[in-house]
Structure 1
Amino acid sequence: MSHSTHDTAPATRSRRGVWISIVAGLVVAVAVLGSFASLASNLGGVQDNDIASWLPGDAESTQVIERTAAFASDDESPAIVAFVRDSGITADDVVAVREAQAELQDFDENVVGDVISPAFANLTPADVQTLATAPASGISDDLVQRLTSEDGKALQLIVTYRIDDTAGFEELPDAIDEMRSIVESHATGGLEGYVGGPLAFGADQATAFAGIDGILLLAALGVVVVMLLLTYRSPFLWLIPLFCGVLSVGAAEGVVYLLAKYADLTVNGQSAGILAVLVLGAGIDYALLLVARYREELRNFEHRIDAMSHAIRRAAPAIVASGLTVVIGLLCLSFAQMNSTAGLGPVTAAGIVVALLVMLIVLPLLLVIFGRWVFWPFIPRFGDVKAEGSGLWGRVGTQVARRPRTVWVTTTALLGLACVGMLQLNSGVLANADTFTKEQPSIVADEVIAEHFPAGEGSPLQVVAKADDAAAVAEALDGVDGIQPASSTTDNPAETATGFSQDGVVYFERTLASASDTEAAYDTVERARDAVHAVDGADAQVGGISAISLDIREASAADNRLIIPLILVVVLLVLGGLLRSIMAPLILLGTVVLSFGAALGISALVFQHVFDFAGTDTSFPLFAFVFLVALGIDYNIFLMTRVREESIKVGTRRGALIGLAATGGVITSAGLVLAGTFSALATLPIVFLAQLGFVVALGVLLDTIIVRSVLVTALTLDVGRWMWWPSHLWRTDGSSHVADPAHPADPVDAEHAEAAPEHKA
């Protein structure tokens, strides 16, 4: 289709007025968005990375955190310091540890209480005095033995540290580094020192997430730049979408900052990192689609304002529908029990809305202002004609059209076979050592500590109950298999043999016999809960690190059961409204679910047999589903809206081929960009993010290269006009279809001529 140079609409309005409006609109839009972007640097200050912010509010472990606030703040966390000598701890080592203990006590104002060892509970007052003042020669072998581990090779200290409200987890790496420096300065002559425990693990996590804003965004930008250069093969054009993408990320982070500060939106390091990747990737996708349609219309219209006007009218519905599908799908996460999952939904949905606004306002204005020359050296000229069926995807469509049923049946079978790999997916709460892609100091320390001390020390069970029932609850608790017997003596006057008591509530801590991040520990938690819940009227509850992990697993499983079907229904309704059909949405949704299953199956095999990951996080399947279905359906929307547009004019079967040829290149480019941006998550040493980046990248590539181009096209060709049932297009499809003289032997027309004679003009 081409349009005359004598279109009357442009001639009847003032070009000067239009240009003034365009420039003014651009200035205002960039100023407003820039003001939001200027707030992006504040996003880290409103992040809530406390453990309670990740948990479901009604979980038992969350309630324990709230009830124990009077006894211990949830801002406090222990670091476990271990000194180890393979030949056995000596009296000189005890003196060295005593000196380290004094330095650890005073190194930071956030150290809470006394730096102690669990072994101190078994010392007499005379032992304590000897330990505090005597030289090595005055410390008996018996006292050394009572201070050290059962094997006599290690001595342990516990440093309780308050995480400052203003600095948060960002200060942890420095604090742990200083602790390690103190420990190493006293670990000499064959004595080795280690700093582990929950505080050290949190410091390693903080270090890993510290680069999420900078390194991750730079990696994603690098991928985007390469893909834009390859897509446009222009030294200039790529700069415009890139500028809009960066502006989208900045503005989105500014908007999320305001929502977190004034609307109580929960943001953490994980959601902030995913926000940047998602907004950049999705925003560039929308830009690619609009630029491709604009380039096409520049061949049909002489004036670029008219070309852009027509491009927006044709492309904007698909872009908006795609963006809203992603937004609605992400908002479904708000129904999750997990606070971290529920917060991710509105955080990322807000980012997608910002990306849509930038790509539909700023991008068109910039393209019009800069003119055709930005496409150099492949400048689209008015009157140029691109032959139908030309290009890679035109040829692919022609081949698929020869045997569409054979193609879609074969493709479905292969993807179904890939889905079998999901049986290898080991989803659950990962042990601490399995959450990083490379070895971390805290993990090394914890492994050494576990060799010499009870594995659950430093991460005890926390139990609260009514004070009147303290004895009964303590008795029930100490009878649970997997819990170390409680110490019988204490020097703390606020503590009784059954725990701390205050305001009618009693608080216990008990040490697990197993490491806190193991299945054995989770089983012990369940037994402990059964035991204390059985004490009638005690209102007893069990929390702590192990209980938190168990509650996360159960809440995540419940979220999977609720949110996955909810998203499917939402996407189905959006597709039905967009395509005005029942059949097409069902088919398209089926292809995306099949693609998701194949991506997850292949990923499970790669995780286990290539990367040697121990498993996946409990929330991984849900996150993978949300991003793959919400983003994967985008490409079907891009394709099928164009197919429907062409089907109205030439019939469904030829419309499918034209739609594929017209959109194939840009959709493939968009998929490569999105896959590349998500693969940037692998730059962070966090297993969950590396796995999420891999599965989304793989799934997007399957969607764009196989599912959308081959499977959906083959299904559309085979199903024909029934794709639009029961809409008006289903009844009228092909009524105005005239065979293209350039394709007299069209395989689609030939194959269906007898089966569908009503399609002839």
Structure 2
Amino acid sequence: MPWVVLALWVGVLALASPFAAKLADVQHDRVTDYLPASADSTRVARLQEQLPGGESTELVLVYHRDGGLTAADRTTAREQVARVAGDHALTGAPRGVPSADGATLMYPVATNEPGTDEKKRDAFVEDVREVAHSEGGLTVEVGGTGALATDAAKVYDSLGGPLLYTTVGVVAVLLILIYRSPVLWLVPLAVAGIADYLSMGVAYGLNQAFGTTVSGQSSGIMTILVFGAGTDYALLLVSRYREELRRVERPYDAMRAALRGCGPAVLASSGTVAAGLLCLLAADLNSNRGMGPLGTVGVLCALVTMLTLLPALLVLLGRRVFWPLVPAYGSTPKVRRSLFAAMGTSAGRRPRTVLAAGAVLLGALALGALNLPGAVKQQDSFVDRPESVVAMETLAKAFPEQSAQPIDVLTPTGRAEATLAAIRDTDGVADARRGRTGEGWTEIAVTAAAPPQSAAETATIEALRARLTGSYVGGPSAQQIDLVDTNARDRMIVVPLVLVSVLLILIVLLRSLVAPLMLVAAVVAVWGAALGIGGLVFGPVFGFEGTDPGLGLLSFVFLVALGVDYGIFLMHRMREESMRGADPVATALTALRTTGGVIASAGLVLAATFAVLTNMGLVQLVELGFVIAVGVLLDTFLVRTYLVTSASVALGSKVWWPGRLSRAPETEQRRPEQPGRPERQTEPV
């Protein structure tokens, strides 16, 4: 049978291979891939693609010298800009705009040459940067929306190979430490790699069949989920398999028993993650809606490989795969006082006190969320300041009286003149000029009198939208406004969907109402505490100027869905013990002793995989990785070990209400410090 499974997997990989190799071809990080589907700014971006020349790439060449530009500096600027104009078809003749103090000169340039091709856009930006170079004390920087997009693309490119290699390295180190075996760690790691390759092929199929958005962010998260969740499932299966090998002679029979024992928990845990992620399909934000299916693909591919390919490989390799700690048939593990037994005992002695103290701690940490900075501005979204950000900062200081990036208005061509007049008559508008015309639409570039993404510029954009009926207002600043508004709307819709879907799965699995409510309340508390810790460190420690508008929603979906995983592992084992007739205290403490090591190992792996994101160059990725990693650690070492165990002890059999187990007669509860079932040795899981 294991050989048959291997043969089937060879066929599956042969079929998936051509599609997996094409995923990079359909991965895009265009502005429309991250914008709300129904927002004005998205309509503007899409209409601009239809205008003559397609989407325009807008740059600003910034020339600056402390103390003032010289005549030679201005000559250098004109020569460099002329060379750019000679090498590329610009949409208009560049015109220099000097600052009031004479220290800065900016040349806005734009071209339609790249269209929607991101590689051509990046090539254009890099070519301009080669031409516009600093010399002799004159600093030259290339900024603008096109340069910002190119610098962001460099970060998203790092979500491919570098993210994969870093994730694999982190998981490999942790598995070696957990298993303390020179061979065993290779098996789940190799299977996770196969799951990742399979997920790439399925993701490409979703894109071709349903047009699912594939971005650098969503494909990177998919890889992290494959290795994080897949390794978690492997840890649980291997731990149970090790137990069964001591009781069952043949590895094949031991694996069957292990799958019967932990299979339902693994299926339910993957089901909660998949259900939670699929709720993102209700989001209006394109990047979030695309992340839902891709994340689900990653989890399900990890599930399938870990429940089919991994068991087959382990059976074929036999007991020797555990060398040097081989579980011999009929052997009994050395009984040692484990950390989780001690933690369970302390939680069991005074469950209400522990529960109250934990709730107060989580609540206090959650207050830190009040210190979260406001929405991050586009130029503040990089961890390290690339050239485009430095250029925009120079412009902000040199031209404090007006915006350095345009507000784009698309209006029906027949009403272009009336729209232009209305725009110029709007408070906060410094300038407005007609742009391209085509497909029944005319583009108008508007310059606000206020700095980019300031409160005054926001008021100008809102005034334009209120006044210009039938027209669409977009551009970078309008996109940020739409992102904030849409994320607020998505939270109101997606959060209840996630809670309901996860709760229903838990009710079906645990045949109880109280236990699922307890688990969901616990993970929501963890989410609040993790966000609070983020509020305490993002600004003061990391120096971030803002928070990604989607942080709250994405961290909620991942922490609730993934956090419930560990609750399922614990409560499923607790239910098994209850069905054997054990009293409530012994049930809770035995479940913690037998699953504590697995949950701790799985939590460390999952937290480490998401922590990889903190090494990426975008603030939103660092914030997301930090909050999820911290939340997983809180959930693993505080909530599961102490709070859920304490609540289960305090509730007794009522935790299974209204199921059959809640009506079982209460037996005399055994004190946790008295002898009971043998405690597991602290051997590798």
- Residue 512 of structure 1 corresponds to 448
Within the candidate set 560, 566, 570, 1:639 is matched to 570
Q: 1:572 touches 1:589 (CA, 8 Å); kept in 2? A: yes
Tell me the residue number matched to 2:37. 57
Residue of 130, 152, 166 corresponding to 1:181: 130
Tell me the CA shift for residue 230 of structure 1: 1.2
Alpha-carbon displacement from aligned partner over 1:368-398 (angstroms, at most 9, x marks no partner): 0001111111111222234788422122212
1:606 aligns with: 537
Please tell me whether the aligned partners of residues 484 and 511 of structure 1 are also in contact (alpha carbons under 8 angstroms). yes
Matched, 1:597 2:490: no
Measure the CA separation in 2 of the matches of 1:691 and 1:738: 45
Partner residue of 1:393 out of 340, 345, 352: 340
* Cα separation, partners in 2 of 1:34 and 1:608, compared to 1, 3 Å: farther
- Residue number among 470, 476, 481 corresponding to 1:545 in the alignment: 476
Q: 1:730 aligned to 2:662?
A: yes
1:526-541 counterparts in 2 under 5 A? 526-533=462-469, 539-541=470-472
SS of match in other structure, 1:609: coil
Partner of 2:259: 312
- For 2:4, the aligned partner's letter is A
TM-score (norm: length of structure 2): 0.93
Letter in 1 for 2:548: D
Amino acid at match of 2:60: I
**C-alpha separation in 2, matches of 1:445 and 1:239:** 48
Matches within 5 A, 1:281-292: 281-292=228-239
Q: Judge conservation of contact 2:53–2:113 (CA < 8 Å) in 1.
A: no
In structure 2, the CA distance between the partners of 1:298 and 1:105, relative to structure 1 (3 Å rule), is same
* Aligned equivalents of 1:38, 1:301: Cα separation in 2: 42
Give a deviation string over 1:115-168, Cα, whole Å, max 9, x none.
Answer: 512x5xxxxxxxxxxxxxxxxxxxxxxxxxxx63333333332332447478x4
Q: How does 1:38-437 map to 2 (within 5 A)?
A: 39-71=19-51, 75-107=55-87, 111-114=89-92, 116-117=94-95, 119=96, 148-162=98-112, 164=114, 168-170=117-119, 172-184=121-133, 187-386=134-333, 390-428=337-375, 430-437=376-383
Establish whether residue 22 from structure 1 lines up as the match of residue 8 from structure 2.
no
Structure 2 unaligned segments of length 5 or more: list them.
Answer: 678-685
One-letter amino acid matched to 2:627: V
CA deviation after TM superposition for structure 1 residue 172, in Å: 4.5
CA distance 1:38–1:642, shift in 2 (3 Å)? farther
Partner of 2:370, secondary structure, is helix
Q: Which runs of 5+ in 1 are unaligned?
A: 1-20, 120-146, 488-494, 534-538, 747-761
Is the Cα contact below 8 Å between 2:566 and 2:640 reproduced in 1? Answer: yes
Tell me by how many angstroms 1:272 deviates: 1.1
Call closer, same or farther: CA 1:505–1:232 in 2, change over 3 Å: closer
Q: 1:728 to 1:213 in 2, by over 3 A?
A: same
> Greater CA radius of gyration, 1 or 2?
1
Instruction: Please say if residues 431 and 518 of structure 1, whose CA atoms lie closer than 8 Å, have aligned partners that are also in contact.
Output: no
Shift of the alpha carbon at 1:40? 3.1
- In the other structure, the counterpart of 2:680 is none
Aligned partner letter, 1:51: V
> Could you report, residue by residue, the CA deviation over 1:602-661 in whole angstroms, capped at 9, with x for unpaired residues?
121111221121121100100110111100000000110011001111233211111111
- Secondary structure of 1:298 counterpart: helix
TM-score (norm 1): 0.84
The structure 2 residue matched to 1:570, chosen from 492, 501, 504, is 501
Structure 1 residue 74, shift from structure 2 partner:
5.7
Whether the 8 Å CA contact 2:606–2:629 is kept in 1: the answer is: yes
C-alpha separation in 2, matches of 1:638 and 1:98: 68
Distance 1:741 1:403 in 2: 11
Distance of 1:478 and 1:307 partners within structure 2: 78
Whether the 8 Å CA contact 2:345–2:672 is kept in 1: the answer is no
Alpha-carbon spacing, 1:459–1:733, altered in 2? closer, same or farther (3 Å): farther
For each residue in 1:510-535, what CA deviation from the matched residue of structure 2 results, as whole angstroms up to 9, or x when unmatched? 112233333332222112212323xx
CA distance in 1, matches of 2:115, 2:437: 27
Letter paired with 2:104: A
Encode CA deviations 1:277-335: one digit per residue, 9 max, x unaligned: 11110100000000000001111111111110000011110001000100010000000
Contact 1:388 1:658 in 2 (8 A): no
Match of 2:616 among 684, 708, 714: 684
- In 1, Cα distance between the equivalents of 2:230 and 2:352? 35
Q: Is the 8 A contact 1:170 1:210 kept in 2?
A: no
Q: Is the 8 A contact 2:354 2:646 kept in 1?
A: yes
Aligned partners of 1:195 and 1:442 also within 8 Å? yes
* Maintained 8 Å contact 1:648/1:729: yes
The CA deviation at 1:541 is 2.7
Q: Which residue of 2 aligns with 1:525?
A: 461
The Cα shift of 1:501 comes to: 5.5
User: What per-residue deviation string (whole Å, max 9, x for no partner) do you get for residues 655-714 of structure 1?
Assistant: 111111100001100000000011011121111111111111111011111100110011
Q: 1:231 to 1:502 in 2, by over 3 A?
A: closer
| Cα 1:97–1:582 shift into 2, 3 Å | same
Give me the CA root mean square deviation. 2.5
3-state SS, counterpart of residue 101 of structure 2: coil
Q: Distance in 1 between matches of 2:665 and 2:215?
A: 51
SS in 1 for 2:106: strand
SS at match of 2:428: coil
Q: Is the contact made by 2:370 and 2:532 (CA closer than 8 Å) also made in structure 1?
A: yes
Distance 1:701 1:73, change over 3 A: farther
Residues 68-122 of structure 1: CA distance to partner in whole angstroms, max 9, x if unpaired? 44546663221111223445445544443332223212445xx4434512x5xxx
Q: Distance in 1 between matches of 2:659 and 2:53?
A: 61
8 Å Cα contact 1:256-1:350 kept in structure 2: yes
State the 1:224 CA deviation. Answer: 0.7
Q: Mean Cα displacement is larger for which, 40-49 or 195-204? A: 40-49
Moved more, 354-363 or 51-60: 51-60
Question: For 2:81 and 2:46, how far apart are their aligned partners in 1?
Answer: 31
Give the letter for the 1:263 counterpart: F
Deviation at 1:558, TM superposition (A): 0.2
Equivalent position of 2:409 in the other structure: 463
Task: Kindly state the Cα deviation for residue 171 of structure 1 after the two structures are TM-superposed.
Answer: 5.0
Contact 1:38 1:250 (C-alpha < 8 Å) held by counterparts: no
Structure showing greater relative contact order (alpha-carbon pairs closer than 8 Å, 6 or more residues apart): 2
**Residues 459-482 of structure 1: per-residue CA shift (max 9 Å, x gap):** 312223344544443333222222
Retained in 2: the 8 A contact 1:424–1:605? yes
| Partner Cα distance (1:70, 1:232) in 2 | 57
Q: Given that residues 52 and 438 in structure 2 are in contact (C-alpha distance below 8 angstroms), is that contact kept between their aligned partners in structure 1? A: no
**Residue in structure 2 matched with residue 140 of structure 1 by the alignment:** none
Within 5 Å, give how 1:659-674 maps onto structure 2: 659-674=591-606
The 3 A distance-change label for structure 1 pair 85 and 421 is closer
Is the CA contact 1:459–1:516 (under 8 Å) kept in the aligned structure 2? yes
